[in-house]
Amino acid sequence: MRETDIDPYENTPRDAVVTANDYRDGQHFALHTHQRGQFAYAACGVITVFTQQGNWVVPPHRAIWVPAGVAHEMSMSGPVTMLNTYIRTPAATRLNLPTQCQVFGVSTLLRELLTRAVDLPPLYEKEHREGHLMTLLLDEIAAMRALSLNAPIPNDPRLAHICRNLLQQPSLETGIDDMTQRLGMSRRTFTRLFRQQTGISFVEWRQQACLLAAVVRLGNGESVTRVAIDLGYSSSSAFTSVFRRVLGEVPSRYFLKKSA
């Protein structure tokens, strides 16, 4: 896929610029890059981000950090309102923001700062109230808690291909033996190579892939029971238990929660 470059106030002489956009369900942005880092907050709807390194899902009231220069795709599930903070690289370095994509919680304070910052002109006065607001906004972004909402993609082309296919239709019923048979690889080689390239076991990765799919579907209003059954869980309670253990809340509370 050809990579394009998008210019969100790239040359504005300010450390950060905030914009707001509404997108329709299913809207997709092909592979592109930004000269600035992008902190994308999902005010409503679910955002999915794809790169060569992995797949990330952003539920409502959370955000994703995409570093400058990282080629990525974005897809929208449900009507999405996205508040983007585009941050210059020196500022991102100063704030110690990650060098790879990462989903974050968003505090009530940060949400209010983003809402206020949308109305500021790109060339806000740095030494006045507007500049102080943006400084606080950046400090608050740097203080946000990282969330485990991604599935890393292995570097090995064979593993990468089969993992991308599984992300399209994840299921707990897909076992290690299924994967090794498709690849013509021994179980021992597969498990060793998978952990070496992703940092986690295939079983952990499969659970994460299922949770990412669940977040998208639950965010679109599907029932917990239907999602649990489709993903291969024995019951909705078993799914809810895993969801709460990994993401810290049961699904009903997770999608109502608006703070970090």
Provide the pLDDT confidence category of residue 221 given band limits of 50, 70 and 90: confident
Q: 104, 124, 147 — which closes off a domain?
A: 147
More confident residue, 1 or 114: 114
260 part of a folded domain: no
Query: Could you tell me which residues are beta bridge partners of residue 48?
Result: 57, 75
Split at pLDDT 50, 70, 90, the class of 1 is very low
Considering the domain architecture, whether residues 214 and 164 belong to the same structural domain is answered as yes
Same domain, 141 and 203: no
Task: Judge if 165 and 231 occupy the same domain.
Answer: yes
Do 244 and 165 reside in the same domain of the chain?
yes
Are residues 39 and 131 part of one domain? yes
If asked whether residues 88 and 141 sit together in one domain, one would say yes
Does residue 136 register a pLDDT over 80? yes
Residue 49 lies in a domain: yes
Q: Is the confidence at residue 247, as pLDDT, over 90?
A: no
pLDDT in tens, 171-202: 999 999 999 999 999 999 999 999 999 999 99
CATH number at residue 97: 2.60.120.280
The answer on 143 and 51 residing in a single domain is: yes
In a domain, 111, yes or no: yes
- Contact by Cβ (8 Å): 138, 16: yes
pLDDT (tens digit, 9 = 90+) per residue, 22-64?
Answer: 999 999 999 999 999 999 999 999 999 999 999 999 999 999 9
CATH number, domain at 244? Answer: 1.10.10.60
> Is 128 in the same domain as 162?
no
pLDDT, average across residues 91-97: 97
* Structure tokens given for 232: 């291969």
- 15 within a domain of the structure (yes/no): yes
pLDDT of residue 259: 43
Whether 130 and 188 share a structural domain: no
Residue where a domain terminates, one of 147, 179, 204: 147
So what's the pLDDT on residue 9?
Answer: 73
Count: domains in the chain: 2
Which pLDDT score is estimated for 67? 97
pLDDT of 142: 97
pLDDT, position 7: 53
Same domain flag for 182 and 125 = no
* Alpha carbons 182 and 95: distance in angstroms, whole number: 44
- Residue 232 inside a domain? The answer is yes
Mark which of 109, 130, 147 sits at the end of a domain. Answer: 147
Pairing of strands 37-51, 72-87: antiparallel
259 falls within a domain: no
Identify which of 38, 49, 147 has the alpha carbon closest to the alpha carbon of residue 91. Answer: 38
Residue 206 belongs to domain spanning = 152-254
Q: 35 with 136, same domain?
A: yes
Q: What confidence tier does 204 reach under pLDDT thresholds 50, 70, 90? A: very high
Identify whether residues 39 and 106 lie together within a single domain: yes
| Dihedral sign (CA 63, 215, 195, 147) | positive
Mean pLDDT computed over 67-76: 96
